[in-house]
Structure 1
Amino acid sequence: MTSEPDPTAPTEPPKQPRRRLSSEERRQEFLTKAIEFFAQEGFESSTRELARRLGVTQPLLYRYFPSKSDLIAEVYDAVYVKRWQDEWGTLLRDRSRPLRERLVEFYDAYTEVVFHNDWMRIFLFSGLKGVDINRRYMQLVRERILEPILQEIRFDAGLDSLDPSDEEVEAAWIMHGGIYYYGVRTLIYEVSILNNKSFVIETAIDSFLLQIPSIRDAASN
């Protein structure tokens, strides 16, 4: 005898058909997955493997990104250029506030953006593979961060020329690189000694500001 269905039993809601993505939405989905893929596997991995993980054909992927180089350029733009915040430049040049205060606030905000696995791993992988992401981003750092900082230091010192010397730029790289490498040790190697980002930022900045006058003077002699 066939039992009657229980009218009080909960019923599953009908499955909604998957919404068809627009061309731009599909392109963004591919780009997001490509960022995850390159962060995990590096740039030696093929677009064929990326397409397989996306569940699409390689020719379909190439409809949106004509070559691997084009895709890498889009990854660079998404991860490094578009995460830059215009207000950072305004902050660095705000002469109504003490320079040290500006630098601490800037690096606190900046590291909130760059201290992420995709940012760090893609940057490191690109250096090993020889992809120009490193060179392009380091030029951006010099133009948007280091040179403005050094110009502000020279302005505070009352110097006529705000153009920094190569020695001053190198000293700024040492400060910036020390802060960056703390993120590498924390996120990639997982061997940071002290879980205190503020301490690292402030110590790096204070050491830099203390040494930069003598570095500048030595370079000018």
Structure 2
Amino acid sequence: MSTEQVLILLVMLFVLAALFSYLNYSVKPAISQTTDNSACSLSVKSAAAQARIPGQGIKSLKELQGCKTQNIITDETAPDKVHELLADNVLNCWNNFGRGKLDFMKDFEAKDLCFVCYKTTFTNNIDTNYIELHKYMISQEKYKPLLSSRDFTSDSFEKISQNQKFYVVIVSNKVAREINGIFTFLFDKYVKFVVDEQEFTKNRVALVRSDKLAEFCKEIA
């Protein structure tokens, strides 16, 4: 084999190695995340269908077999890239859980129950805040359905500190439903009765720092 042929072979091997590295570290995670999102969305839709059947339906978010928390660690510092990462995670979580409209839980206590879609750790300090994130989302067409639904909320972070964790959570809530117009005279007072029944309100999606999670979630699945 001539020197020229050896050089050509080495170049081809280098190109193949670079291509494999790109596919493994860029394309593969994207495909994996798309698959995970699809599996979670199907699990939520299936659970919502079961909840309509008497005696059926899940009673814990842990029963959503297709949904799992995705852990992300990033050294990104460019504000717009950080905004896009957080906003896309919020959008994916909202989409996976039926855009706030699906009642996929059969029964749980009337309190905020959370499923963690994403845990994102930033390894660097980033000069941005929740107002700048909202401005970015408003400027992008793909986030308009989410913002117009008013299903999105965020804690009021003023900056992103090194090794700070941000959670994207879906918050499910049910409230006691009142029976209007039923009163009784009891101990010289009119008393309005409330039935022990839970009514689906809506699911919200929230972006929360780890130290503020308890303010949004009473229980975490």
Q: TM-score, normalised by structure 1?
A: 0.32
Which fold has the larger relative contact order, with Cα–Cα distance below 8 Å and residues 6 or more apart in sequence? 2
Higher helix share: 1
Q: TM-score, normalised by structure 2?
A: 0.32
Higher strand share: 2
